[in-house]
Amino acid sequence: MAQDQEQPVERTLVLLKPDAVVRGFAGKIISRFEDAALKIVGIKMKQMDAEFTRRHYFDLEERMGPEVYNVTATFMQQGPVIALVLEGADAVATVRKIVGSTFPNEAPAGTIRGDYSHYSKAASIASGKAAANLVHASGNKEEADQEVDLWFDKDELQDYRTLAEIFTY
C-alpha cells in the first residue's frame, strides 16, 4: 500500500510580458499552467521602471552586453507585466517546457511561444528590438528563488491545496 507522501515542490516566477498583456493572452497563457497542474500562489500586475528592471535583469548586461540589456529594458518597460509565482513538482522545468524556446520561431507547436508568436533572433537583430516572446520564465531553481523574492513579499504568497494537488502529488 502506498503511503501518502508529499513530493517536494518548487516555486518559479513567470512574467507575462507587455506583448502578452496587450495582445490579450493572459487568460490563455495562465490556463496552460493550470492545465499542467501548476498552482498559482502569487499574482500581480506591475509597470516596471528603470530601477526595478535593472534589479530583475541584474546580470544581463554582463552576460549579453549593453545593447541587449537596453533593448530588453525598453521592451519590458513599454507596458504592464503580469507576474505569477507558480508552484508544483519540478515547476521550473515544467514551466520552461510549456513556454518553449526563447526565440518563438524555434519553439515547437504546443508551447506558448510556438503557438502565439513567430519572432526570430534574426528579426530581433535586424530591427534592433527585443524578441517579442510573450513570457519570461526562471531558468533554474536558484534564479527562481531570487526572482520570486524580488517580485513578491512573503505575505503576498498563498498556501492552499488544489484538487489537482490532492490527486497528483
Catalytic residue positions? 136
The separation between the first and the last C-alpha atoms of the chain, rounded to the nearest angstrom, is 16
Nearest to 45, CA basis, from 164, 155, 151, 158: 151
